Amino acid sequence: MTPIVTRFAPSPTGYLHAGNYRTAVFAYLSAKHSGGKFIVRIEDTDVARSSPEYEASIFETLTWLKLSPDETYRQSEHRPRHRELLEKLVKDDTAYVSKETPQAPGDREEVIRFRNPGGTVTFMDIIHGEITTDITDLGDFIIARSFDEPVFHFAVVVDDADEGVNHVIRGGDHISNTARQMLIQQALGLPMLLYAHLPLIFGDNHKKLSKRSGAKPLSEYRDQGILPEAMLNYIAFLGWNPGDKREYLSREELIEAFGLSRVQKGSAIFDEVKLLSVNQHWMRKLSDDDFLAHLKVGHRMSDFYAEQLRKAVPLLKERAHTFAEAREMLSGELSCLFNESILDRALLVAKELPKRVGMTKLALESLLGAIQSLPESLSTEAVKEALMPLGNAEEAKGKGGRGAVLWPLRYALSGQERSPDPFTLVAILGKEVALARIQKAIGILGE
Asked, for residue 197, whether it belongs to a domain, the answer is no
Domain count, the chain: 2
Q: Range with the lowest mean pLDDT among 13-27, 297-311, 426-440?
A: 297-311
Q: Which of 275, 307, 337 is the last residue of a domain?
A: 337
Specify the pLDDT at position 45.
83
Both 369 and 433 in a single domain? yes
Cβ partners under 8 Å of residue 351, min gap 6: 403, 407
Q: Quick one: average pLDDT of 358-387?
A: 88
Residue 208 included in any domain: no
Apex 18 CA angle, 269 and 268, nearest 5: 20
Average pLDDT of the chain, as a whole number: 91
Q: Look at residues 278, 306, 337 and tell me which one is the last residue of a structural domain.
A: 337
Q: pLDDT tens digit string along 118-131? A: 999 999 999 999 99
User: Domain boundary at 275, 303, 337, which?
Assistant: 337
- Whole-angstrom Cα Rg for the chain: 32
Quick one: 361 and 333 in the same domain?
no
Look at residue 263 in the predicted model and tell me its pLDDT: 97
Q: Where are the alpha helices (DSSP H) in 66-132?
A: 79-91
Where do runs of H (alpha helix) occur along 265-402? Answer: 272-285, 288-295, 303-319, 323-331, 345-348, 357-372, 380-397
Same domain, 357 and 388: yes
Residue 379 lies in a domain: yes
Question: Quick one: what percent of the chain has pLDDT higher than 90?
Answer: 74
Residue 437 lies in a domain: yes
The answer, yes or no, to whether residue 44 has pLDDT greater than 60, is: yes
Q: What is the span of the domain harbouring residue 298?
A: 288-337
d(CA 61, CA 217): 9
Annotated binding residue at 285? no
392 lies in some domain:
yes
Residue 318 lies in a domain: yes
Condensed to tens digits (0 to 9), the pLDDT of residues 243-272 reads: 999 999 999 999 999 999 999 999 999 999
The residue that leads in pLDDT, 345 or 179, is 179
- Is there a domain that residue 11 lies in? no
Within 8 A by CB and 6+ apart from 344, the residues are: none
Q: What is the CATH number of the domain that holds 398?
A: 1.10.10.350
**CA distance linking residue 341 with residue 283, whole number of Å:** 30
Non-local (6+) Cβ contacts of 189 within 8 A are none
**Mean pLDDT for the stretch of residues 183-207:** 93
Whether 399 and 441 map to the same domain: the answer is yes
Asked if residue 365 and residue 297 are part of one domain, the reply reads no
pLDDT at 207 over 80: yes
In this prediction, residues 148-174 reach a mean pLDDT of 96
CA distance 273 to 439: 43
Are 392 and 303 within one domain? no
74 belongs to a structural domain? no
